[in-house]
Amino acid sequence: MLVNQFLFLGAILFCIGIYGVLARKNAVLVLMSIELILNACNINLVAFGAMWHANDVSNMSGQVFALFVIAIAAAEVGVGLAIVLLIYRNRQSIDVNDVDLLKG
Amino acid sequence: MPELLDKVWIVPAIMALSFLIILFFGKRAGTRATAGIGIAAVSLCLLFSVVVAGQWINRVNNPPTGEKLAQDIVKANGLTPQNAEDVEAEANAATHDSGETAATASGTPTVTPIALELASTGAESAAGATASEEHGSGEHGSVPPVVRTVTWFQMGGISFEAGTLVDGLTAMMLITVCIISLLVHIYSTEYLRGDIRYTHYYAFLSLFTASMLFYVMSSNTLQMLVGWELVGVCSFGLIGHWWEEKKNSDAALKAFLTNRVGDMGLIIGVAITFFAAGANSFNVLHINEYALSGAANTTLLLVGGLCLFGGVTSKSGQFPLHTWLPDAMAGPTPVSALIHAATMVVAGVYLIARLYGVFFAGLGIGSSSLHYVAFIGGFTTIIGGLLAFVQTDLKKVLAYSTISQLGYMVMALGVGAWTAGVFHLFTHAFFKACLFLGAGSVSHACHHTFDMREMGGLRKKMPITHATFLAATLALAGIFPLAGFWSKDEILAGASSGQESAYTLMLVFGLITAFMTAAYMGRAYWMTFWGNYRGHAKPHESPKVITVPLIILAACAVFLGFTNFPTNFFGLKLPGGFTTRFEHYVEPTFAFPPLQHAEFTPWLAIASTVLAAAGFFLVYQYYAKNRGPHGLTGRSGLARAGYGFLENKYYLDTIYTDGIAGATKGPLARASNWVNQNVLDGVVNGVGTVARVSAGFVYKDIDQLVVDGAVNGSGSVSEGAGQFLRRIQTGKVQQYASILFAGAVVLAGVFVFVI
């Protein structure tokens, strides 16, 4: 089994995610792009896990790791959306460029 | 009756407690209560001491078996003293099956009848063998002293111990100190009535007694040093009791400082004997035992013995450090009695007696031509006795008599007559205390003067004082059958026939002193109690509080000599249970050199008594009958010179103050001044100049340039860096993220292409 298709998919997803994080102004879309990056990683993990242990069904470490990442992503989205919601309440805007209070 | 021999620490503890109570509550409690506390405490101590002595006598009569067994075990295994305790405990468990086994755990008090590698039983023990021979019936072999120690502190792998050691000598000293102290306490209630520092006086009296009791029961030399110094401090406080007069505080200082000279010797001696003891021990039994074993370095022992003897010289008023003792008369008379009879001055004699092994082996008593101890003692008896003739102060006559008698004791110890010396200490304590308290009684009646020229004819006015004083005088002069006769005679016998019969010079010294003692005491007696009253007061007999102690002491002075009745007194042979009891119970049989015991020598007894009688007779002719060459000092230049020589105390004080102190202080001051002006000031000024110049350099070049430059430079650098870096910090999250990704890309590139 070749993993390169999976890796290509992962790389594409990762690049889309990077673009979203760096280029989008909407904070919700930035969060969504971060989800894309995490899922690109998940694909890689599962793919490599399946490749290295194709003959050993009992070893599921890659898949299990992906499950951990999904759980952490859910938590991260929860916190991130709460922050976005509060920013919106205070400023009536969710443009990440407007939130620059730490400017030196 | 509980076993008190290993619990004697209670005795000084009682006195220390009494000291604290009087010190803190005495003023509030009032004079009667103060004296009451002191007297009650001493009485209790006396009771305990008597019990201790009784138990010691019992121990000598029934020598212990369990401990002997222990010694045998120790000896067989050749164990070190540390292990010996365990073995001994085993032995005790085997024989006694008593509570003593519980004491083996380290740190807990252990009852240790010191079990050394010493040959302890039978013919192997030189001391034991001598003792058995001496007593014929072999009443007792070797009776080890009762030693109880606790670990005081540990340092450098050596454990320093504190403890009590009880043998016949300790028991004897306990009783002597307690009796004299008790009588002095009682006597002082009257003598010091209305004194401004009454509480202070009683507090110090308690502490004095406590220190002396602590000293005599010490089991090691370090502890003895503590007791010794405590005694010195107390004597300082009591001699200077009336310190408002400069003379008195000077006397206290002189006593203290003169003792410091000897104390240096003592401290060095203690250190040397510590190393000379082989096992690095302060324990007196270890030291004695090792010194006598022949394994010790003789040079070390010689130097150690000489240093220790330096301490004895100052404390016990031996030539040439005796000069403080007459000045110590500045204190209240009961204190003089205490100092001169039972405490303080006998501490030195006790030190020789206690560390006899060191003196015996180190200074070659009875074996070499170096009779250092005996010679100093003998010389002191003569010079002390001579000085007593020219004193007009009754107390000073007694003070010089004390010096003379202390010399007698030291001489006895120096010729190897241990028992004789200690026995003389014992008897002397009582009659000298009686004489001092008698002098105090006389002074109490005569407007507090001690000048014999203002006395006379007191015989009829103070009959009790007169009778007791006469008894004590005769005892001191050694008239048969009073206490002094027996002890003095033993010393003379010891000098004539004890070790090697080599002490002819000491015998001559002793006989001369016997004559002189009678003469000067006769002089003092006649000047005080006979003739016509020359003073201005109205003398009267003292109250009972004063006379009763006098009567008790006089009784002791009369009868105590019989405690060491000789075995063969002019053919009179009493049963064994009545003769030489003192020697039997007091002389150590453990870690003690093998001594020859002199037999009673009839011709010496007769000679000394005749000499004493002759002394009395001559003085009687001179003072009472007014015969002989009166006014000789006015006619003969030689007599005047001799008198002046004596009156100025051999110019020793002059030598000390003018000669040593005076000659050194002038040049020393000039030299110090020169050093100060040239060396010290030069150094100080030089240091100042150098400091100023270097400070200028430091300010200009280092502080301004380097330090300030560094501080300012770092400030401007960080400001510039901040100005640059603030441009990067835009607050825009996505800019940060792009830098982060760029960094990640660079790192990935490095990983892929470089590594």
Residue A94 has which token pair?
């969710």
B628 and B507 in one domain?
yes
Q: Looking at the domain assignment, is residue B285 inside a domain?
A: yes
Which residue of B725, B728, B737 is in closest CB contact with A22? B737
Can you tell me the mean pLDDT for B321-349?
83
How close is the nearest chain A Cα to the Cα of B739, in Å?
10
On whether any CB of chain A is under 8 Å from the CB of B732, the answer is yes
Across the interface, whether the CB atoms of B738 and A102 are under 8 A apart is answered no
Axis crossing angle, helix B168-191 with helix B345-354, rounded to the nearest 10: 170
CA distance B23 to B377: 39
Across the interface, whether the CB atoms of A99 and B734 are under 8 A apart is answered no
- Supply the range of the domain harboring residue B738: 652-743
* Burial status of residue B581 (CB atoms within 10 A of its CB: 0-12, 13-18, 19 or more): middle
Can you tell me the mean pLDDT for B231-259?
84
**Hey, of B734, B741, B745, B752, which one would you mutate to test binding to chain A, going by the most A CBs within 10 A of its CB?**
B734
B449 and B347 in one domain?
yes
Q: Closest chain A residue to B729 measured between Cα atoms?
A: A104
Contact B333, B437 (CB under 8 A): yes
| B285 vs B266, higher pLDDT | B266
pLDDT for A52 equals: 82
Can you tell me the mean pLDDT for B358-381?
76
Contact B408, B491 (CB under 8 A): yes
Q: What is the mean pLDDT of chain B?
A: 78
- Picking from A91-95, B422-426, B626-630, which range would have the lowest pLDDT averaged per residue? B626-630
Q: Which residue has the tokens 């008198």?
A: B643
Confidence of residue A71 (pLDDT cuts 50, 70, 90): very high
Share of chain B above pLDDT 90, in %: 5
pLDDT for A102 equals: 77
Across the interface, whether the CB atoms of A104 and B726 are under 8 A apart is answered yes
Identify residues of A whose CB sits under 8 angstroms from chain B CBs. Answer: 18, 21-23, 30, 96-97, 99-104
Q: Closest chain A residue to B741 measured between Cα atoms?
A: A18
pLDDT for B136 equals: 36
B686 and B589 in one domain?
no
Q: Looking at the domain assignment, is residue B327 inside a domain?
A: yes
pLDDT for B410 equals: 87
Across the interface, whether the CB atoms of B730 and A104 are under 8 A apart is answered yes
Q: Which amino acid is it at B123? A: A
pLDDT for B334 equals: 87
Q: Looking at the domain assignment, is residue B55 inside a domain?
A: no
CA distance B710 to B3: 81
B641 and B670 in one domain?
no
Contact list, A103 vs chain B (CB under 8 Å): 729-732
The b-or-e profile of B104-114 (16+ CB within 10 A means b, else e) is eeeeeebbbbb
B525 and B376 in one domain?
yes
CA distance B356 to B166: 16
Cβ neighbours, 10 Å, residue B672 = 12
Q: Closest chain A residue to B723 measured between Cα atoms?
A: A104
Q: Closest chain A residue to B733 measured between Cα atoms?
A: A96
CA distance B304 to B739: 87
| pLDDT for A47 beyond 80 | yes
On whether any CB of chain A is under 8 Å from the CB of B741, the answer is yes
Across the interface, whether the CB atoms of B732 and A97 are under 8 A apart is answered yes
Which residue of B727, B734, B741 is in closest CB contact with A96? B734
pLDDT for B553 equals: 86
Q: Which residue has the tokens 């991130």?
A: A80
CA distance B355 to B373: 13
Contact B510, B495 (CB under 8 A): yes
Q: Looking at the domain assignment, is residue B752 inside a domain?
A: no
pTM score, whole prediction = 0.68
pLDDT for B65 equals: 67
Across the interface, whether the CB atoms of B731 and A21 are under 8 A apart is answered no
Q: Looking at the domain assignment, is residue B116 inside a domain?
A: no
CA distance A73 to A66: 10
Q: Pick the last residue of a domain from B585, B612, B647.
A: B647
Contact list, A31 vs chain B (CB under 8 Å): none
| pLDDT for B116 beyond 50 | no
- Picking from A26-40, B99-113, B514-528, which range would have the lowest pLDDT averaged per residue? B99-113
Q: Closest chain B residue to A19 measured between Cα atoms?
A: B738
- Picking from A19-23, B15-19, B63-67, B497-501, which range would have the lowest pLDDT averaged per residue? B497-501
Across the interface, whether the CB atoms of A97 and B727 are under 8 A apart is answered no
Give the number of A-B residue pairs with CB atoms closer than 8 Å: 34
CA distance B238 to B205: 8
Across the interface, whether the CB atoms of B734 and A101 are under 8 A apart is answered no
Q: Looking at the domain assignment, is residue B513 inside a domain?
A: yes
- Alpha-carbon separation of residue B132 from B54, B463, B589 (angstroms): 22, 48, 10
pLDDT for B325 equals: 82
Which residue of A18, A30, A100 is in closest CB contact with B732? A100
B659 and B643 in one domain?
no
Can you tell me the mean pLDDT for A24-49?
92
Contact B308, B265 (CB under 8 A): yes
| pLDDT for B177 beyond 80 | yes
How close is the nearest chain A Cα to the Cα of B726, in Å?
5
Axis crossing angle, helix B168-191 with helix B198-216, rounded to the nearest 10: 170
pLDDT for B78 equals: 37
Q: How many CA atoms lie within 13 A of B327 on its CB side?
A: 23
Residue B507 has which token pair?
């015998």
How does strand B110-111 pair with strand B158-166? unpaired
Instruction: Please provide residue B571's backbone torsions phi and psi, each rounded to the nearest 5 degrees.
Output: 85, -10
Go through the domains of chain A in sequence order and give each one's CATH number.
3-102 (1.10.287.3510)
B686 and B609 in one domain?
no
B257 and B200 in one domain?
yes
Contacts made by residues A1-10, CB under 8 angstroms, sequence distance 24+: A1/A50, A1/A51, A1/A54, A3/A47, A3/A48, A3/A50, A3/A51, A6/A43, A6/A44, A6/A46, A6/A47, A7/A44, A7/A47, A9/A40, A9/A43, A10/A40, A10/A41, A10/A43, A10/A44, A10/A47
Q: What is the DSSP letter of B598?
A: P
Contact list, A102 vs chain B (CB under 8 Å): 729, 731
How close is the nearest chain B Cα to the Cα of A34, in Å?
11
How close is the nearest chain B Cα to the Cα of A60, in Å?
28
**Hey, of B724, B728, B732, which one would you mutate to test binding to chain A, going by the most A CBs within 10 A of its CB?**
B732
The H or E element containing residue B494 is helix B483-497
Across the interface, whether the CB atoms of B728 and A104 are under 8 A apart is answered yes
B687 and B607 in one domain?
no
Across the interface, whether the CB atoms of B732 and A21 are under 8 A apart is answered no
Q: Pick the last residue of a domain from B615, B647, B679.
A: B647
Residue B87 has which token pair?
């073995």
B242 and B204 in one domain?
yes
| pLDDT for B85 beyond 60 | no
Q: Pick the last residue of a domain from B632, B647, B662.
A: B647
- Picking from A16-20, B218-222, B584-588, B689-693, which range would have the lowest pLDDT averaged per residue? B584-588
| B522 vs B532, higher pLDDT | B522
pLDDT for A75 equals: 95
Cβ neighbours, 10 Å, residue B136 = 9
Across the interface, whether the CB atoms of B728 and A18 are under 8 A apart is answered no
Per mean pLDDT, which of B289-293, B346-350, B442-446, B725-729 is the most reliable? B346-350
Q: Looking at the domain assignment, is residue B321 inside a domain?
A: yes
How many domains does one find in chain B?
2
Can you tell me the mean pLDDT for B496-515?
75
Which residue of A21, A22, A104 is in closest CB contact with B729? A104
Confidence of residue B124 (pLDDT cuts 50, 70, 90): very low
Q: Looking at the domain assignment, is residue B337 inside a domain?
A: yes
Contact list, B721 vs chain A (CB under 8 Å): none
On whether any CB of chain A is under 8 Å from the CB of B83, the answer is no
Across the interface, whether the CB atoms of B731 and A102 are under 8 A apart is answered yes
> Nearest Cα to B476, choosing from B540, B384, B599?
B384
B704 and B643 in one domain?
no
- Alpha-carbon separation of residue B235 from B205, B213, B238 (angstroms): 9, 15, 5
B622 and B657 in one domain?
no
